[in-house]
Structure 1
Amino acid sequence: MISVVPKWSDLRLVGNSKVVKLTIFMPFVGYLILFNNEIINYFELSKSALGFDPSITESISFSRLYQLYFGLMIVGIASTLFSIFCPPIVKANNDEYSYYEKELFSMTTKRIAQISDSLAELVTEDKKSELKSLTDSYNSAFRDANQLKYSGNVTESEVQSVAEKYKKEAIADILKLEWSFRIESMPKLRTAIVMLYGAGFFILLYPSANVFFRVCSVVWGKF
């Protein structure tokens, strides 16, 4: 069954946005929106500057402030959850290929062991067996290359390059397995974040669209 919940790599497009990240600070700056006299005066001036009926602008001004505040708060909560729980390798890389390029040529035996130990505690038994097989392939790369030499398939000078090739293939498969697991981890949390983003953006966008159509109706009525 294919999951319809966006993966962490999909949520990254929103969660890593600099604009969306700023909503994390919304609880600390909320008073600037709700309790700032300058903003209230701005709305009072807007009524006169635009020449609209005060009864119309009065009904939309302050309720929009509250909607803006709560919309940003909800998006901020979603952004905070994303920032805390999104796997670091997803936050730090645009896609799996960026991750491969970054790790492939700087991988060490210690790093391989760290990845394997970390994943072994989380993945299913099938994936655990696959991970062990890949780790064994990495560790036995030089021995396997030597066996090819003894069978006459490679020369002495080619053993090292063949061993490196085997290691890189094993590393690529391990990284692929790790990336695949990380982007699909914590499905319930990903669902909650998607719902919060959806609710927050709806609250932010719906009033704007509503105001736009109401203002257009007023302007259109003057012609």
Structure 2
Amino acid sequence: MFVSWAMLRHVGATPIVRATVLMPFVGYLIVFNAQIGQWLSLIPDLDTSTANSKPLTYLNGQLRLILIYYALVLLGLGTAVYQIYCPGIIKSASNASDFTQEQLADLSDSRVLVAGEAIRTHRNLNHASAQSRVATLLSELNLTDEHLGSPAIFQKAISNSLRSQRVTLFDTLYCLENWNRRWARTAVSFLYAAGFTVLLLPTLDIFQATFRIALSYVWENS
């Protein structure tokens, strides 16, 4: 899946989308609440047909409300998967540069060793987007792929690394985590895409209706 966790973070980390995680549990209270349905009928004439005219909308008020409900449920499910499976590194920093700067600002040998071990044992080492970063790190440390299977040698090289090499270290770790758990990224991407698509239907319906009203008003007064 070509969508990374950092890309999904632009949606999943926003307060409005995060709030949709409650929709699968409380959304039905909104759908079956007559008062809310009445509040959403801001312009009743949009859905009303007469002897001389048809309704301006293609969707009635109740159907629009149901579509909004299902859209928010899909977004809520996507957000739940995002919150559970998105790596903490990605949640804490929007890009590799910010993450690296945060780590270097409070650097310790133990943090460097933990990052190095996380890279050495990472399940995503063979991902196409991470291979070049890993190769660059190994080259800077004068190591080869074979040394990834030698904890003592790899950790010694990490312990003796220079600051510039540690920048590469944290950048590599961020990249590996950014493309981790492909199935979860795919699920979140699908749920977000489906949710926003369904949400677009009632939005476009109201837009075209109000646009026709405005166009008719301009035509009658021109």
TM-score (norm 1): 0.74
Amino acid of the structure 2 residue aligned with 1:179: Y
In the alignment, structure 1 residue 179 sits paired with structure 2 residue 174: yes
Shift of 1:77: 0.6
Amino acid of the structure 2 residue aligned with 1:209: L
The whole-number CA distance in structure 2 between the counterparts of 1:43 and 1:199 is: 23
Shift of 1:44: 5.7
Amino acid of the structure 2 residue aligned with 1:202: T
Aligned position for 2:108 = 108
Aligned position for 1:79 = 79
In the alignment, structure 1 residue 201 sits paired with structure 2 residue 192: no
Aligned position for 1:161 = none
Q: How does 1:46-195 map to 2 (within 5 A)?
A: 46-47=43-44, 51-52=45-46, 54-55=48-49, 56=55, 59-123=59-123, 124=125, 127=134, 129=146, 135-140=155-160, 166=162, 168-195=163-190
In the alignment, structure 1 residue 31 sits paired with structure 2 residue 28: yes
Q: Verify the 8 A CA contact 1:112 1:135 in the aligned structure 2.
A: no
The answer to which of 106-115 and 124-133 deviates more is: 124-133
The whole-number CA distance in structure 2 between the counterparts of 1:53 and 1:191 is: 38
Q: Verify the 8 A CA contact 1:71 1:203 in the aligned structure 2.
A: yes
Aligned-partner SS, 1:185: coil
The whole-number CA distance in structure 2 between the counterparts of 1:102 and 1:33 is: 42
Shift of 1:203: 0.3
Shift of 1:45: 6.6
Shift of 1:80: 0.9
The whole-number CA distance in structure 2 between the counterparts of 1:90 and 1:97 is: 11
Aligned-partner SS, 1:94: coil
CA offsets per residue over residues 75-98 of structure 1, 9 Å max, x none? 111111111111101111121111
In the alignment, structure 1 residue 11 sits paired with structure 2 residue 8: yes
Shift of 1:116: 2.7
Q: Verify the 8 A CA contact 1:5 1:187 in the aligned structure 2.
A: no
CA offsets per residue over residues 161-204 of structure 1, 9 Å max, x none? xxxxx2x1232121111011010111222122111111100100
Residues 53/25 of structure 1: CA separation in 2 closer, same or farther (3 Å cut): closer
The whole-number CA distance in structure 2 between the counterparts of 1:45 and 1:97 is: 47
Residues 53/111 of structure 1: CA separation in 2 closer, same or farther (3 Å cut): closer
Residues 99/71 of structure 1: CA separation in 2 closer, same or farther (3 Å cut): same
- Between structure 1 and structure 2, the one with the greater Rg is 1
- Supply the RMSD in Å over aligned alpha carbons: 2.7
Shift of 1:43: 4.7
What are the ranges of 5 or more consecutive residues in structure 1 without an aligned counterpart? 142-165
Residues 119/217 of structure 1: CA separation in 2 closer, same or farther (3 Å cut): same
Residues 212/110 of structure 1: CA separation in 2 closer, same or farther (3 Å cut): same
The whole-number CA distance in structure 2 between the counterparts of 1:122 and 1:22 is: 32
Residues 111/43 of structure 1: CA separation in 2 closer, same or farther (3 Å cut): closer
The whole-number CA distance in structure 1 between the counterparts of 2:173 and 2:13 is: 21
Shift of 1:70: 0.2
Identity %, equivalent residues: 24
Greater helix content: 1
Residues 53/14 of structure 1: CA separation in 2 closer, same or farther (3 Å cut): closer
Residues 29/46 of structure 1: CA separation in 2 closer, same or farther (3 Å cut): farther
The answer to which of 28-37 and 98-107 deviates more is: 28-37
The whole-number CA distance in structure 1 between the counterparts of 2:203 and 2:147 is: 52
Q: Verify the 8 A CA contact 2:18 2:79 in the aligned structure 1.
A: yes
